[in-house]
Amino acid sequence: MQPIEKNDVKSTLKEKDGFHVWWRLLRPHTMTASFIPVFVGTMVASLEQSIDVLLFVAMLFASILIQVATNMFNEYYDYVRGLDNEQSVGIGGAIVRDGVAPKTVLTTAFSFYGVALLLGIYICMETSWWIAVIGAVCMLCGYLYTGGPFPISASPFGEFFAGLFMGTVIIGISYYIQIEAVSSKALLISIPVAIFIGTILLSNNIRDLKGDKENGRKTIAILVGHDAAVRLLATLFFLSFVITAVFIALGILPIWSLLTFLAIKKARDAYKGFIGKTMNIEMIPAMVSTAKTNTIYGFLLGISLIIQLIYPVSL
């Protein structure tokens, strides 16, 4: 088999030049993993009191900036470690295919962290400086996800940390800055969201299993194998919807949250899209469906809380 040339990869993936290079570097399909938790956490808070729109916007942009900076760290350190090349799919490709200087990518990532830090200072001034401690831990974990001598992304714990920090922690902070109190309800509601965020990373690792294994990584997908990892993905989808149903039955979530079950079709598409696939480029649609499952579920969850605020219904 002849190696795939750089231009062939760009053509196959329909990659364009110019502004699109930087847009791909941000990995926009992952941005919902930062938007959804802020949206959900804020909507949970809205059931108790009016929200501060400026704090919501500041938290939203800070979360997105940390997310895209993490993506850039991933692009940079995977390139430095020789994990990405011109044939790699599922990456921005700014360095290996578009010729962007690695130092530029790294500097941009730290610049985004700097802006997120300024937004964090504003949030702390308006609420509590304890948020600075939690935010610093989030930013450190974002860097260590692919940076440092022992990147989290190369371990079996990548999905757990992604779900914990991008799901539970972000929802908790988004709730806290509005109410200035800790809520067990908000933390419980964060569980299915955190699981869905974890599935985005799991789908990524399923797609990249072969290449990651050759580079000595030890992700869950590598440890259990492709078929078992796909079954795990389906199990996590199922678990999230079961938890949602239980929360609705217990009154933790309103009856309107049944809307989230509209995401089941996209979850099924993701699961079926991985079955029998061996080439990573074939699994891109399944990974996209996984990200869309998180987007649809999280968006409808937030909307259900808004509807409950306007038309309160109790079981």
| pLDDT tens figures, 18-40 | 667 777 777 777 788 889 999 99
pLDDT of residue 86: 63
Exposed, middle or buried by CB within 10 Å (0-12, 13-18, 19+), for 204? Answer: buried
pLDDT of residue 237: 98
Rounded to whole angstroms, how far apart are CA atoms 189 and 187?
5
Whether 2 shows a pLDDT value over 70: the answer reads no
Of 60, 150, 76, the C-alpha closest to 110 is 76
Residue 247 neighbours by CB distance under 10 Å: 18
Rounded to whole angstroms, how far apart are CA atoms 55 and 50?
12
pLDDT of residue 3: 42
pLDDT of residue 5: 46
Identify whether the C-beta of residue 202 lies closer than 8 Å to the C-beta of residue 285.
Answer: no
Whether 279 shows a pLDDT value over 90: the answer reads no
pLDDT of residue 91: 57
Task: State the DSSP H helix or E strand holding residue 17, giving kind and residue range, or none if neither.
Answer: none
When computed from its CA atoms, the radius of gyration of the chain, rounded to whole angstroms, is 20
What are 223's two structure tokens?
Answer: 């440890």
Cα 292-296-68 angle, rounded to 5 deg: 55
pLDDT of residue 1: 35
Whether 12 shows a pLDDT value over 70: the answer reads no
How far is the CA of 118 from the CAs of 111, 113, 114, 121, in angstroms? 11, 9, 6, 5
Phi then psi for residue 180, to 5 deg, are 55, 45
pLDDT of residue 208: 87
Identify whether the C-beta of residue 238 lies closer than 8 Å to the C-beta of residue 202.
Answer: no
Domain positions in the chain are 18-310
| pLDDT tens figures, 163-191 | 999 899 999 999 999 999 989 999 999 99
pTM for this predicted structure: 0.87
Question: What 3-state class would DSSP assign to 305?
Answer: helix
Arch. (CATH architecture) of 18-310: Orthogonal Bundle (1.10)
Rounded to whole angstroms, how far apart are CA atoms 12 and 6?
10
End-to-end CA distance of the chain: 61
- Which residues have C-beta within 8 Å of that of residue 294, sequence separation ≥ 6? 32, 33, 36, 193, 196, 197, 199, 200
Rounded to whole angstroms, how far apart are CA atoms 50 and 130?
22
Whether 153 shows a pLDDT value over 90: the answer reads no
